[in-house]
Structure 1
């Protein structure tokens, strides 16, 4: 046997295992009084761009960790601050994430070492070695995987990710080469060198002044990590979020179920989506659709949490079974036989009963993610009884409303609701809201125009259109829509609150006070009252009426303790009144609370600028 010198600049690093110091450079071969480098797991090179070396090591342990193990050690060749930060993050991640299929490392496994006669400080991280082959190697030898194995592997990986994400980390570099198939058949996730901790500081860095409802719309991440073809656009732009891991997971499974390198798969010219299904004939549509959903272009279009993915995976086997049944020849023959009986004269069923039966069966197919089969039955039901359109539309409307956390899916269902009944104004209102979240401007305008055609006095539509114009920075158009909403109904209190807020943004404080006072006289809703008191406090603060502003803002936060914007204003008022302790508490809520309002991001930035100037 032999052992290796840790000094990256040593000319002859391989040594006999019975010597204490390197025969070439004199560096101790016993690292940190416990570690001997047995063999390199990556080729040793003089390439300056290779900043990490990885060794299998013999670890004699410490007095806190006395068990002698064969382990793996990463050695950072360069001690630049950004690289040191990454290996420190990896050490912290492995300490805090506890899972049997993630390498274990302790606080005593991260240390520095200085080679003989060198000014270079090497940062070293030891972790348990996970035996097995990575999936990049495995797929090269075994080819594409079956659907049952893909379902099992996906569940295993999501269960690991569930622990990772609930430990407030996300991986940022999921790909086949970072997944190990162990001898016991279990998958392990490795290489946490790019893992990121999900802290409020991190969220502040990726939250821009034009924030979205997710609060993660900015461009200030410190380090963008990219693995070609597995990394989503938001991560390439330095805005990685936990849902970025799901995109990489979807791309990984495309490679596994096709047995094809991603670079060799064609793409759709307009969308950039991979064209892969023809190379995975063993994967049924419900599972393929789910993989596509994991790879959706925007984070908000993907499943939002690991728990949601696990819930979906529990239902997939039944959905696949239903899909196979409804696409079988027996089902098709029986379906058309039923149609024939109905068309000929309703031998066994009356016309309304037959239509209801078809609608019910179609709903079952849609619930099983067989949209094509469902719409076939719906269309037959309409031919038999056109009045079925309202039932079908209501079904899709309900599905859209149950999927508001996934705007892309909700939009799809609302569009289907419109397809079957284009006379329901409420569907257009909800469709417009989803299109606004997705940035589909044409869809927003068309949906509201159709809603106004159906219901001339619908104030909610004008309020929603005003909100859309405001998000586009078209304040005059927004103000006009809010005023129309107020004229349409006495119930349009949200429009009053929105217009009052807009008047404050435009520094028309007297108008803001008038509107907020008017709104308070008309509503008992606590959240609306909190918004209106916040606007009174905002206007009073800008008019230098500090004590009055404080009273209004305290009223707002009492009514709604989650009004982040009110706490931001309150911190400024308390600071002006020299109430430093109170201001500090309000400021903390302002900085850490959830908000998608542009003014909140502006106030936070102003605060950070003041702190930096000090």
Structure 2
């Protein structure tokens, strides 16, 4: 085994493994007293456009991770500000995203190194190495994959992406060569060098706000990541969003199920969509339709979240079975027989019994995901007995409630419930909520307003609209709706809690405390008590009443392990000089799951402090 010199200007970089310094240039072969370069994973060239070198390394471990193991080091050779920013961003990304199939990297794994007698300052990033082949290599040997394997791999990748997106990042370069098939059969997602964090600044650049000059700068930064055939149009145009990852994922699976380079596939003349299905006859129409939906031209036409995709994937196997059944000759004959029997029942039975029979048959067909046939039965049920409308509406409303994890499907069911009964205020309110989840603002506001007209004293609808405004930081409008909900019902404790939080953000800490205390007096719900104690502690923390704040925040965490409460508790402990306790609490704040804006801000503050403590920046 050899040891390689890290100095890119060295004339002879390969050395015996039993020496401490390079025989050619004298640079230490043991980097940071722990890392020895074992072999290059990319060719070592003098090409000035080869910015990064990648080596497999023998890592003796750190105080944070004392296990000796084979890892990978990525070395940035040149001091380009944009490239420095990319590798720093990759380091932060890998620190914040925790998943067994994403490379692990800690604070100690990003550092600078100056070779002996060299003008270069190298920036080094160490990360875990996954054994196995990337899927580009695997497909060249094994050919196209089966439908069952495609479903399994797609689920694995979306579960990884779910962690990435929940951590407020997106990958931006998903393709077969960045996916590793491990010997265990599990996929790993690698190369986060082009990932982006979803921040207000980033969104401002995507939207072009902040002035013309800033808008151009944002576009320039974002469009630098383009992989032909895998990059969606909005990313090429500097408008990448998390749903851009779904486009690349769809393209990746077209490549996997066809074993054909995407550049060799034809495209539709009008839409530009790939024509690929004839190259993948093993893929049934429901799955093919879903892959095409992932590759829809506009981000809004694709599934909006990883959670939606996972819910859809759970249903796909049954949809595929139903598709095969409904396209068989036996089913086609059975369908016509059922319709005829429905007519006969309407003639020979009493009208209510016939209508109930048709509704029941429709419900069974809908449960089997045969929506078109179900609609036929519901149509004739309403024709012979209009009162069936409300029964069918309730049926679809219940299906919407049960489908809340798949918000796209829930929306469809609530719309069908309203179609059969347009006086159901709760159906409008629930439809408004799912529109809100899908970021369809006009749909949300319109349906909330309709719900108010039909049922003016429905506090849940006012609370839902308040959440809509709150999520968009339209705090004045949110506060108005929270107050209306509180006036309408003593049960509106969530509105009291959220109004308390808004008062903290507005600096009205005593008002926030009074609201939180009033909410605690009215509820025995543990989760609500926990979040009310959190607001109580937060307000007291802002008032520098640290001991009281600590007591309330400890109550909050004991009732329910809230990430935001731990972040606040760490700040109270620091203020009281309890440094060891604060360190442990900060660790929980950093690793626990949360998408709250305040939590992200507190995490960023502590990470900046930690980076300042452990990473010594090089001179510019």
Common fold: TM-score over 0.5 = yes
Residue number in structure 1 paired with 2:355: 352
1:497 shift after superposition? 1.5
1:244 shift after superposition? 7.5
CA distance in 2, matches of 1:97, 1:544: 40
CA distance in 2, matches of 1:34, 1:500: 55
Q: Does the Cα contact within 8 Å between 1:355 and 1:382 map onto a contact in 2? A: no
1:462 shift after superposition? 0.7
Q: Does the Cα contact within 8 Å between 1:359 and 1:392 map onto a contact in 2? A: no
> Residue 582 of structure 1 aligns to a residue in which SS?
helix
CA distance in 1, matches of 2:426, 2:379: 23
1:337-389 CA deviation, whole Å, 9 max, x = no partner?
A: 433443356467651343134313422342xxx54444344434433444444
1:496 shift after superposition? 1.4
Q: Flag the 1:453–1:555 CA change in 2: closer, same or farther, 3 A.
A: same
Is 2:156 the partner of 1:155? no
Q: Does the Cα contact within 8 Å between 2:358 and 2:377 map onto a contact in 1? A: no
Q: Does the Cα contact within 8 Å between 1:355 and 1:385 map onto a contact in 2? A: no
Q: Does the Cα contact within 8 Å between 2:504 and 2:512 map onto a contact in 1? A: yes
1:448 shift after superposition? 0.6
CA distance in 1, matches of 2:308, 2:76: 36
Residue number in structure 2 paired with 1:424: 424
1:233-281 CA deviation, whole Å, 9 max, x = no partner?
A: 789989998x987653322233455757369665899xx8946477679
Residue number in structure 2 paired with 1:58: none
Residue number in structure 1 paired with 2:404: 404
Q: Flag the 1:152–1:136 CA change in 2: closer, same or farther, 3 A.
A: closer
Q: Does the Cα contact within 8 Å between 2:229 and 2:262 map onto a contact in 1? A: no
1:318-346 CA deviation, whole Å, 9 max, x = no partner?
A: 53232233244553444334334433564
Is 2:502 the partner of 1:505? no
1:534 shift after superposition? 2.7
**Which has the higher mean CA deviation after the structures are superposed, 499-508 or 577-586?**
577-586
1:401 shift after superposition? 3.3
Q: Does the Cα contact within 8 Å between 2:432 and 2:448 map onto a contact in 1? A: yes
Q: Flag the 1:420–1:332 CA change in 2: closer, same or farther, 3 A.
A: farther
Q: Does the Cα contact within 8 Å between 1:562 and 1:593 map onto a contact in 2? A: no
Alignment of 1:461-610 (within 5 A): 461-558=461-558, 560-607=559-606
1:485 shift after superposition? 0.9
> Residue 513 of structure 1 aligns to a residue in which SS?
helix
1:506 shift after superposition? 1.4
Q: Does the Cα contact within 8 Å between 1:134 and 1:179 map onto a contact in 2? A: no
CA distance in 2, matches of 1:77, 1:537: 45
Residue number in structure 1 paired with 2:109: none
Alignment of 1:64-463 (within 5 A): 78=77, 134=137, 149-155=146-152, 173-176=173-176, 192-194=190-192, 226-231=226-231, 247-255=247-255, 261=262, 274=273, 276=275, 282=281, 283-292=283-292, 294-295=294-295, 297=299, 301-304=304-307, 308=310, 312=313, 316-328=316-328, 330-343=330-343, 346=346, 350-366=353-369, 370-463=370-463
1:450 shift after superposition? 1.6
Gaps of 5+ in 1: 1-5, 12-25, 56-60, 62-72, 103-111, 212-218
Q: Does the Cα contact within 8 Å between 2:530 and 2:560 map onto a contact in 1? A: no
1:445-483 CA deviation, whole Å, 9 max, x = no partner?
A: 012112112211100111111121222222222121111
CA distance in 2, matches of 1:613, 1:36: 32
**Which has the higher mean CA deviation after the structures are superposed, 171-180 or 538-547?**
171-180
1:415 shift after superposition? 2.6
Gaps of 5+ in 2: 1-5, 12-23, 31-35, 59-71, 104-112, 204-217, 614-620
1:601 shift after superposition? 3.4
CA distance in 1, matches of 2:272, 2:76: 38
CA distance in 2, matches of 1:480, 1:53: 57
Q: Flag the 1:562–1:446 CA change in 2: closer, same or farther, 3 A.
A: same
Q: Does the Cα contact within 8 Å between 2:342 and 2:358 map onto a contact in 1? A: no
CA distance in 1, matches of 2:188, 2:573: 49
TM-score (normalised: structure 1): 0.65
1:509 shift after superposition? 2.5
1:87-137 CA deviation, whole Å, 9 max, x = no partner?
A: 999x99xxx9799xx9xxxxxxxxx9x9xx999999999998869984776
Residue number in structure 2 paired with 1:67: none
CA distance in 1, matches of 2:408, 2:255: 25
1:591 shift after superposition? 3.4
CA distance in 2, matches of 1:210, 1:49: 27
Q: Flag the 1:448–1:97 CA change in 2: closer, same or farther, 3 A.
A: closer
Q: Does the Cα contact within 8 Å between 1:206 and 1:239 map onto a contact in 2? A: no
CA distance in 1, matches of 2:612, 2:132: 48
Q: Flag the 1:442–1:133 CA change in 2: closer, same or farther, 3 A.
A: closer
Q: Flag the 1:210–1:600 CA change in 2: closer, same or farther, 3 A.
A: farther
CA distance in 1, matches of 2:202, 2:86: 31
